[in-house]
A = this chain, B = another copy of it.
Amino acid sequence: MTKRAGKAATLADVARKAGASTAVVSYVMNNGPRPVAPETRERVLAAAAELNYRPNRVARALRSRTTGVVGLILASASNPYFGALARHIEQALDEREKLTLIGNADYSANRQQHLADRFLAAQVDGLVIVSADGAADVAVEARAAGVPTVYVHNAPESPRTGRAFAVTADNDAAVLEAVSHLRTHGHTRIAFLAGPDDAGPVGRRRAAWETALSGTASPLLRCAYSRAAASALTRQLINEDAMPSALITGSDEQAIGVLAAAHAAGVPVPGRLAVVSLDGTPDSAYTAPALTVTEQPLRSMAQQAVDLLLDGTSPRPAAQAGLVLRHSCGCSPAQQSGPVAGARDRR
C-alpha cells in the first residue's frame, strides 16, 4: 500500500514479493525463454501489479544490446513535405514497436553529422535519414558501428556498401507526367523552378525536365525551398514582366509561395500562369486555386523504409507517384470535384 515515491520498483522487488528469483520474474515478463509454472506466473503477475512495476528499458537495453529506438534525422521539419514523411515514418515505426528519436538538421551537413553522432551514442537500433541534398554519407560511421541505416527521399552520393539502403521516388516519371499534362493544355514552353543547386531529388527532377523540354527555350528558375523565397522570386518576375505561362515547381513549398505572390499581384492562375507541383503534400489540396501535383507516395515510401531498416528487405512494391489533377494546371473546376479532390485525411 505504502508506495515509496522516489523509488521505482525493480525486478528484484517483484521477485522478493512473489517469493521467486529474478530469473522467473524475467521469464514471466517476457514470456520466455524458459517456461514458468502457471501458479508461479500468477504470483509474479500479482506482485508486479501491486508494486506497479514497469520494466526499466535502459537496463534491458544495456544487457540485450538493443534499445528499441530508431533515430530519425530530418533535413527540415518546417517543410511540410518532410513533416509528412516524418509522420508516416514515426507511424510505421510505432507499428513495429519502435520508439522514434527525432532530430532536425536544418539543411546543415554539420548538424546532420552531429545528430547522427548523438543518436549512435544513444545506441539506436537504426537510423533513418531524410536529407535534401547529397551531403557526405553519414552512414559510414553507422555502418562501422553496425547500425543499419536507410536514406529516404534522397540517396547518398557515395557508393553504398554494407547495410545502407535508399528509398526514393521515381522523379523522372513524375516530371514526364507533369510535362505531358501541361502540353495537353497547349503549353510548349514550360519553366521549371528548381532549388538553389542541383543536389538531391529536385536536381534530378530538373534534369528530367531539361531532357523533356530541350530545344524549347523554357526558362530555368532557382530559389530556396521556402514559400518566402518563391514569393519573392515571383514578385520579381512579375515586376520584370518575365513571367512564364506555365511552370513546374520542384516542391510544394515553392508552388505555394508562387501562388501567394501571384494572387497578391492579381496574376490569374491558371489563366495567365499554369502551375504543376511535384511533391503532392496534403497542403496542396487547399491552395487557391487547388494545386495540380504529382503526388509522391509518402506513406508507402515510409513503410518501405522501415521494412528495409528492420528486416533488410521489403515485401511491398515501390508505389508510383501519381498525377492528381486539380485546378492550377488549367483543368476546369467544373470537371473536378470540390476543393478537397485528391485530399485524404491521413492517419
Contact = CB atoms under 8 A, between A and B. Distances in A.
A263 to B, nearest CB: 4
Given A56-B123, A235-B338, A264-B338, A282 B8 contact: no
Interface of A: 3, 5-6, 8, 52, 54-59, 61-62, 67, 69, 77-78, 80, 83-84, 86-87, 90-91, 94, 99-104, 106, 117-123, 144-146, 226-228, 231-232, 235, 256-257, 259-261, 263-264, 282-283, 285-290, 333, 338-340, 343, 345-347
14 contacts: A8-B145, A54-B121, A56-B123, A57-B121, A58-B67, A87-B104, A99-B118, A100-B103, A228-B340, A231-B339, A260-B286, A260-B290, A287-B287, A287-B288
Nearest to A256: B286
Contacts of A57: 121-123
B5 A144 contact: yes
Report, nearest first, the 4 A-B pairs whose CB atoms are least far apart.
A263-B288, A260-B339, A264-B339, A288-B288
Nearest to A80: B80
Contacts of A106: 347
A101 B69 contact: yes
Contacts of A100: 101-103
A93 to B, nearest CB: 10
A260 B287 contact: yes
